[in-house]
Amino acid sequence: MGIPRLLKQLVALFVLLLVLFYVAMFGTMIYQSMRAPIVTMDDDDVQYVLDWVGQTDTPVQLLSSYHPPANWAGDFEKMFTLKIDRKIAESLVLRPDVVRGDQLPADLVSSVEFAMFFTQDIAWFPPGSELLSSEYYLWPIHTLAQFDALDSVHLLFISPDSELLFFVEAKM
């Protein structure tokens, strides 16, 4: 008598966990589809970039942003543009890990091309041909490849002349 009852309880527990999983999954999907596809100054990535470039004390303007819902396959993208102080923009391009757009090694060119797949339909984001010119500098925050294919990138493009930072985070 005890074993059949235990099996029924285990099956009931499994069904309950399965139902809770689906409720959580659909709740997340509904939330993702209903939120606005924009980024605000309170966004963690915006604050991270500002801390990273040392622009926490001077005024910054968030000019444009785009952050659509993630899809069922896990693809993710977030882009934004910040207007920063000229002195900070000029100091950023002097960092040893920042590379001028027309002097990128092949692996960073492929990272830019990967990111451009996600940004190609965003009117305010510069096209790849501009980003790979002497007018822009790239700060590769993070790139991840799996089996010799890029899986995700976090890139920061700096335009010292226009005092703009373009951030793109993309995962496929």
Per residue in 115-163, pLDDT (tens digit) is: 988 888 889 999 989 999 999 999 998 888 888 888 889 899 999 999 9
Per residue in 73-85, pLDDT (tens digit) is: 667 788 989 998 8
Count of other CB atoms within 10 angstroms of residue 139? 20
Residue that the structure tokens 């285990």 belong to: 10
Q: What is the largest CA-CA distance in the chain?
A: 80
